[in-house]
């Protein structure tokens, strides 16, 4: 068993977790090693740098890429690998664009998904709503989650497609607090580097790609691999 | 090749499509045979009949089930099987709850997904918006899709989680008309049978389950397999 485990993990094929006891057994976690991940992310970065993707406000048009299930599954496998060692009960995202990434990640980790709504038209019994300030445009917005959608004390992995200052993710964290739930991790597909350090609302997250420069006039952008690919410090 | 094809299809393992010519080859479509599908759907029906799922207006709370990626993948495989013989370029759904079903189906059919927004806050360049009347509550609502999200002439499979009178799906069809696109099929996870025949806005769709009775007072419901499982007529 130990040998199989070693071979699997060295080759980046996946991780075998052995659970002791009557309910024990071997759990296979399909992983993706960093060099494979990096090759895929570099292709994604090149694709994201196409000038026609630049949108007003320094955003990038990514909807076509988020609409490719196979690409989402590859990215989901990266997130699953990045967070495989954490204890997680549920994956959370906010509608709409983060949903395919959340499901792809959840498929590999075999976890349920909870989707936070951006309105309070939740028709599912009592709901908790919070107001949050989107860090980049300073507008007050609302997000809500049905009371029965999330158990108290859950350990939650937050997944989203894009993070600028982090206001939306901070909003999800505030919502988790209302459910006595805890944040097990934060994963974002693309982070914007166009944010001042003191505007950034959170520090502890995993990003797969980083938008390092946008010139709205020339529509020149630069996208690099995210902090997941940085060499470990210390 | 013919023998392999026969064995695969008889056992419901999948379908092998042979394409002639230089770009030809063999395409494997993972299918799920009807008896396996029916067994899964019967379990889903029993789960949906739990009295605490009844919501005001004759809707059912299904969010927890839609949050299970593995269940969504099974349902997606059923839709993929149901529509495997049609020519489809893209799968469309409207936010939010149909999204996991659309992606699961798209994964098996290896197709892209397009998500229609329920607002017109589309920040992705020019967009087409239409108003539609939700058949069940008679309110005028808006849905929109970015112009660049869908190519003209596309053949589109519409997937949604729940259909009452069909107003939302009719809205997506109206939107497709604006893109000179055509409807290749409509698949709904659960249809409500609590609709008068003359209120029903469309006839040609595949449903996997059907809510046949809801008693809002006693919270008794009855859910049966949908029209996908009906014996072929003629």
Two tokens, residue B134: 């939700």
Contacts of residue A93 in chain B, CB cutoff 8 Å? none
A68 reaches B (C-beta below 8 A): yes
Domain A1-31 has CATH 3.40.50.2000: no
Residues 2-21 of B with CB under 8 A from A: none
**Given an 8 Å threshold on Cβ–Cβ distance, is B69 in contact with A113?**
yes
* Fold annotation for B32-229: Rossmann fold (3.40.50)
Reduce the secondary structure of chain B to three states and give it as a string.
Answer: CHHHHHHHHHCCCEEEEEECCCCCEEEEEECCCHHHHHHHHHHHHHHHCCHHHEEHHHEECCHHHHCCHHHHHHHHHHHHHHCCCCCCCEEEEECCCCHHHHHHHHHHHCCCEEEEECCCCCCCCCEEEEEEECCCCCCEEEEEEEHHHCCCCCEEEEEEEEECCCHHHHHHHHHHHHCCCEEEEEEEEEEECCCCCCCCCCCCCEEEEEEEEEECCCCEEEEEECHHHCCCCC
Two tokens, residue A150: 């999330």
**Per-residue model confidence (pLDDT) at position B126:** 85
Q: A71 in the Ramachandran plot: left (φ > 0), alpha (ψ -120 to 50) or beta?
A: alpha
**Per-residue model confidence (pLDDT) at position B231:** 79
Band of residue A216 on the pLDDT scale cut at 50, 70, 90: confident
A50 reaches B (C-beta below 8 A): no
Domain residues of chain A, as ranges? 1-31, 34-229
Residues 91-110 of A with CB under 8 A from B: 95-96, 99-100, 103-104, 106-107, 110
Instruction: Give the residue from chain A lying closest to B90, CA to CA.
Output: A67
In this model, does residue B12 exceed pLDDT 60?
no
Rounded Cα–Cα distance for residues B234 and B224 (Å):
22
CATH tag, B1-30: 1.10.10.10
Of the candidates A95, A113, A125, the beta carbon closest to that of B67 is on A113
In this model, does residue B167 exceed pLDDT 70?
yes
Band of residue A134 on the pLDDT scale cut at 50, 70, 90: confident
ipTM for the assembly: 0.86
- Report the gap between the CA of A7 and the closest CA in chain B (Å): 28
What is the rounded radius of gyration, in angstroms, for the C-alpha atoms of chain A? 18
Residue carrying the six token digits 């799968």: B91
Closest CA to A164 of A130, A199, A140, A139: A199
In this model, does residue B200 exceed pLDDT 90?
no
Average the pLDDT over each of A24-33, A114-123, A170-179 and give the range with the smallest value.
A24-33
Instruction: Give the residue from chain B lying closest to A55, CA to CA.
Output: B124
Identify the CATH class of A34-229. alpha beta
**Per-residue model confidence (pLDDT) at position B16:** 56
Residue carrying the six token digits 């087409």: B128
In this model, does residue B234 exceed pLDDT 50?
no
B201 reaches A (C-beta below 8 A): no
């Amino acid at each position: 068993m130990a040998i199989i485990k070693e071979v699997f993990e060295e080759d980046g094929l996946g991780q075998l977790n052995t659970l002791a006891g009557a309910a024990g057994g071997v759990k296979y976690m399909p992983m993706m090693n960093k060099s494979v991940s990096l090759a895929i992310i570099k292709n994604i970065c090149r694709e994201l740098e196409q000038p026609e993707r630049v949108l007003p406000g320094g955003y990038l048009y990514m909807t076509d890429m988020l609409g490719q299930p196979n690409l989402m599954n590859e990215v989901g496998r990266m997130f699953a690998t990045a967070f495989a060692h954490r204890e997680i009960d549920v994956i959370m995202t906010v509608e709409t664009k983060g949903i395919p990434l959340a499901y792809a990640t959840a498929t590999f980790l075999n976890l349920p998904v909870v989707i936070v709504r951006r309105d309070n038209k939740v028709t599912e019994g009592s709901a908790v709503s919070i107001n949050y300030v989107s860090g980049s445009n300073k507008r007050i917005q609302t997000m809500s989650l049905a009371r029965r959608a999330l158990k108290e004390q859950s350990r939650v992995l937050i997944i989203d497609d894009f993070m600028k200052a982090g206001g939306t993710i901070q909003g999800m964290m505030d919502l988790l607090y209302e459910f006595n739930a805890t944040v097990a991790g934060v994963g974002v597909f693309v982070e914007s580097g166009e944010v001042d350090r003191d505007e950034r609302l959170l520090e502890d997250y995993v990003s797969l790609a980083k938008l390092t420069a946008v010139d709205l006039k020339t529509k020149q952008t630069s996208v690099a691999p995210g902090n997941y690919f940085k060499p470990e410090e210390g």
